A and B are shown apart, each in its own frame.
Chain A
Amino acid sequence: MRHRRRAVAADPEKKAGRPWIAPRDLWTEAVAGVLARPLRSALTTLGTVLGIGTLVITIGVASTAAHQIVGRFNALTATSVTVEVPPPASDTVPLVDWEGIAAVDRLAGVESSAALAQTDELAAVQVRTNDVVTPGGLSGQTLAVAAASPSLPAAVRGDVTAGRFYDGGDIARHARVAVLGDQAARLLGITEVNDSPAVFFNGHSFTVIGILGGFKREQRLSTSVILPPTTARDRLGLGTVNRVLINTSLGAAQQVARQSPVALTPNSAKALTVLAPPDLSKARKGVQGDVNSLFLVLGLVSLIVGAIGIANVTLVTVMERVGEIGLRRALGASRRQIAGQFLMESTTIGLLGGVIGAALGTVVVVSVSAVKDWTPVLDGRLALGAPVVGAVVGLLAGVYPSLRASRMEPVEALRAPS
């Protein structure tokens, strides 16, 4: 008999079992603790809500904006190359002639190209139409005049909205024809070309055979009168190419930018200036980098403030619940279980802050996108990760108060009222 009891005495854990709590009970106790003072708990989440919200908004808006900017690059800028040709020294041959673009068209990755001639003298010209009769004699509009290759509509990615664009035949015949940019046509009151309207300027008349609109690049041509290069040279002395527009396939812009000066003028390629789009991936990174860093710091600071808030309130809560801690110890709670409960409470508050912050942040990102007419880009990992970050903040904030709670001696704790 006595032997059996000694065996029990030597191993009391076997007799009593180890301190134990069902996870569900731990959760229930923690939630009850959080809900015991709902207003205080709600206010305690504020710091985390702000921190997580700022982070979600920052990252969300930044990636949305980056997506937007990169999207624009994709559509247009990333495939546009422009070559500027300096004016030749007097009496020498032009650096690039009108047939030069044929060599550019042969380059791999080039989809379309056109040469342009524009001068300052012809940037503002009084243009009249044949049927405008204005009292007082002053009629017409101030427009620009330009000469361009027949491939211009494709090169500016525009549409001929009326009539036709001039072709090689018109150029060979030095035909006195003109195409109007859509804004120029509107200003002159010309909407269609079936009755062969004419425009007059600098003492010459030209038959309007078409209207070009929908410019995606080189928008100022929309207020220009566009002439075949031969005609322009004969009548206006406008014959020197000073600009070449090139459109490339996606990703080919950098290479075409390197090769096109040589194709245009093998001997003095260095004299030409090439405008090419920035490297796409660099642009994306640049945008994200700019927007993020400041607000990320702001978000992290709010999170730290939030964590201090949770730690502070949890500590106050622990001090108010000393009697409860004593009671739980008397009911068989171990130090670890006491710590576990307060850790769970602070984690719950952090989690709550994370969920609310992520939700508010998402709403803000979507609203900003709606206002700016952007497509919101929301990373699922961000939306799911934010509450986890909140919970971790709460967990870390709860460490010190929980240790304080677990270190209390049961008798001392029971002396406090509960």
Chain B
Amino acid sequence: MTGPLAPGDIPDEGDVIKLIGVHRTFDSDPPVHALRDVNLTVRRGEHLSIVGPSGSGKSTLLNTLGLLDSPSSGDYWLDGVRTGALTDRQRTALRGSSIGFVFQSFHLLPYRTVEENVMLAEIYRRPRPGRARRSRAERARAALDRVGLSHRHGFRPDRLSGGERQRVAIARALMSEPALLLCDEPTGNLDSENTLSVLDLFDQLGAQGMTLVVITHDEAVSRRATKRVRIHDGQLSQEYA
């Protein structure tokens, strides 16, 4: 830890995410300033939506929040832990134990069934009480059920429609019951009916205490969030409901 912290820089109890003066610069030629002086606080159980034009830095922000990428400068506190001070191993463990992802491009393994893809969310975690290896398939079915896909559990991902793949990716994220769920365009491929049911699901998750960060282009989706921010050219601006 470097130097004394200003009083406002220490997150409160209940702040799941706290970004303080975060920059992310890619050393390409020319350098890209994907995030500029981003400050953001998200509290437990909140549902944050991020909107912004293509290339504005939304995915970069999400990767940073998911500990997949590190800020070039600034601090990221996750659930009271100052992540900049962690080793690679510690970041990995924290990511595996408390963060779930729904990626823009799904990232399903083509050679595994839908059910196996969902079960994958659990193999890198120590078995917890009530979550034994034996009942893993059962829980995967339950997660698929929540997105309305239990009838497709034996399919390979390449036989599914885009919307179905997206829902499998959501089921996989639910499987590990993360404290923080990060979604990149989770409804991009869904029709309005499926979008509504996914949004209802998000509401339920929020009520259970799960913190959600959702990137979206869809105004309807954004409106269901409890908190909204807009990102433009790497800069964040608050929006008010």
- State whether the Cβ of A373 lies closer than 8 Å to any Cβ in chain B: no
Q: In the bound complex, do residue A414 and residue B80 qualify as a contact, i.e. CB atoms below 8 Å apart? A: no
Q: Of A21-29, A73-81, A150-158, which binds chain B?
A: A21-29
A274 to B192, CA, bound (A): 106
Closest to A332 in B: B96
A16-B96, A323-B107, A418-B108 in contact; A331/B120 too (CB < 8 A)?
A: yes
Task: Tell me the dominant secondary structure on chain A's binding face.
Answer: helix
Query: Interface readout for B123-146 with A: 1 if CB under 8 Å, 0 if not?
Result: 111110000010000000000000
How big is the B interface, by class?
Answer: 35 or more
Query: What is the total of A-B residue contacts with beta carbons within 8 Å?
Result: 116
Task: Tell me which residues from 90 to 121 in chain B have a Cβ below 8 Å from any Cβ of chain A.
Answer: 90, 92-98, 101, 103, 105, 107-112, 116, 120-121
A342 to B94, CA, bound (A): 23
A327-B107, A331-B124, A332-B124 in contact; A15/B81 too (CB < 8 A)?
A: yes
Residues of A within 8 A of B123 (CB): 21-22, 25, 29, 331
A66 to B54, CA, bound (A): 77
Residues of B within 8 A of A12 (CB): 81, 86, 90, 93-94
Residues of B within 8 A of A1 (CB): 13
Q: In the bound complex, do residue A332 and residue B66 qualify as a contact, i.e. CB atoms below 8 Å apart? A: no
- State whether the Cβ of B89 lies closer than 8 Å to any Cβ in chain A: yes
Q: In the bound complex, do residue B92 and residue A326 qualify as a contact, i.e. CB atoms below 8 Å apart? A: no
Chain A nearest CB: distance from B183 CB in Å?
A: 13
Chain B nearest CB: distance from A332 CB in Å?
A: 2
Q: In the bound complex, do residue B97 and residue A17 qualify as a contact, i.e. CB atoms below 8 Å apart? A: yes
Q: In the bound complex, do residue A330 and residue B80 qualify as a contact, i.e. CB atoms below 8 Å apart? A: no
10 A-B pairs with the lowest CB-CB distances in the bound complex, closest first = A332-B96, A36-B111, A332-B124, A16-B93, A25-B123, A327-B107, A16-B94, A16-B97, A5-B80, A410-B68
Given contacts A21-B123, A32-B111, 12 further A-B contacts (CB under 8 A): A12-B90, A12-B94, A13-B93, A16-B93, A16-B94, A16-B96, A17-B93, A17-B126, A19-B93, A25-B123, A25-B133, A329-B92
Instruction: Show the binding face of A for B, using Cβ within 8 Å.
Output: 1-2, 5, 8-9, 12-13, 15-22, 24-25, 29, 32-33, 35-37, 323-324, 326-335, 337, 410-411, 414, 417-418
Instruction: Show the binding face of B for A, using Cβ within 8 Å.
Output: 10, 13, 63, 66, 68-69, 80-82, 86, 88-90, 92-98, 101, 103, 105, 107-112, 116, 120-121, 123-127, 133, 176
- Give 5 CB contacts A-B under 8 Å: A12-B94, A17-B97, A36-B111, A329-B68, A418-B110
